[in-house]
Amino acid sequence: MTDHSTAPDDVNDRAVDEWVAETTPFERVHSVVRRTYDPQSAKEISDRARVSPTTARKHLRTLADVGEVVTEEDGRTTLYRRSKTAIVTEHAQQLLAERTTEEIASGIADMKAELRSWREEHGVESPEAFARELDVGDADTEHGAVLREWQTTRRNLALAEAALAIDDVSDVNHRSDVDGDDGEPDSSAVV
């Protein structure tokens, strides 16, 4: 017979206790920040990460220094949120894990062709210019669907290009460990 006397709060409390026991304060702050898209104070983040506000601020400064977090001031309070660069990097790395560089490059070519097609068909250079030509009532029509698809394709193209750039940087770093053609270490390698 199953014991149903355990309240959901008890299960949640145990899960949080395990999370705290199995992770460092930095890991918890970083985990919370990875899900923080709206600016929050160090106190709010510290509560979610189960650390003191002082500890949260220390780790948030570190994350800001490496570009994972951006800050803004609200009066005398510093607010923190995940940086757009960190979000794009995470999505690009996920794309690289799911697809080969050849598949990504092929997708880039297809997306560029689609964007070119929309520019030619509608006689404008961007989805924003296309939107300016539409009436407000067009949002729920075929034109609205084209606009959304055009914007999404442009965003996906930028993400795919970022993925290839990250892969290229990774390749450069791997090649920097290889000697030059003359047997000497490659002095042009990025360190």
| Domain ranges across the chain | 11-82, 87-169
Q: What is the phi/psi pair of residue 100, to 5°? A: -80, 160
Fold designation for 11-82 = Arc Repressor Mutant, subunit A (1.10.10)
Q: Which residue has the tokens 């995470």?
A: 90
Q: What is the pTM of this model?
A: 0.64
Q: What is the mean pLDDT of the chain?
A: 85
Question: When comparing pLDDT for 172 and 131, which is higher?
Answer: 131
Residue 125's Cβ-side half-sphere holds a number of Cα atoms within 13 Å equal to 0
Question: When comparing pLDDT for 114 and 139, which is higher?
Answer: 114
Residue 169, token pair as written in the block:
């940087």
Compute the residue count for the chain.
191
Cα(142)–Cα(152) distance, integer angstroms: 15
pLDDT at 5: 53
Which of 26-30, 78-82, 169-173 is least confident?
169-173
50: left (phi over 0), alpha (psi -120 to 50) or beta: left
pLDDT at 7: 57
pLDDT above 60: residue 70: yes
Cα(184)–Cα(33) distance, integer angstroms: 44
The band of 145, judged by pLDDT with boundaries at 50, 70 and 90, is: confident
Which of 34-38, 87-91, 164-168, 169-173 is least confident?
169-173
How many C-beta atoms lie closer than 10 Å to residue 36's C-beta? 19
pLDDT above 90: residue 178: no
Pair 159, 91: CB distance under 8 Å: yes
| Three-state DSSP class for residue 80 | strand
Cα(165)–Cα(181) distance, integer angstroms: 25
Question: When comparing pLDDT for 112 and 2, which is higher?
Answer: 112
**Beta strand extents in 14-157 (DSSP E only):** 40-41, 69-74, 77-82
Q: Which residue has the tokens 């030059």?
A: 180
pLDDT at 189: 46
- Model confidence pLDDT, tens digit, residues 21-31: 999 999 999 99
Side chain identity, residue 119: R
Cα(150)–Cα(91) distance, integer angstroms: 19
Pair 30, 65: CB distance under 8 Å: no
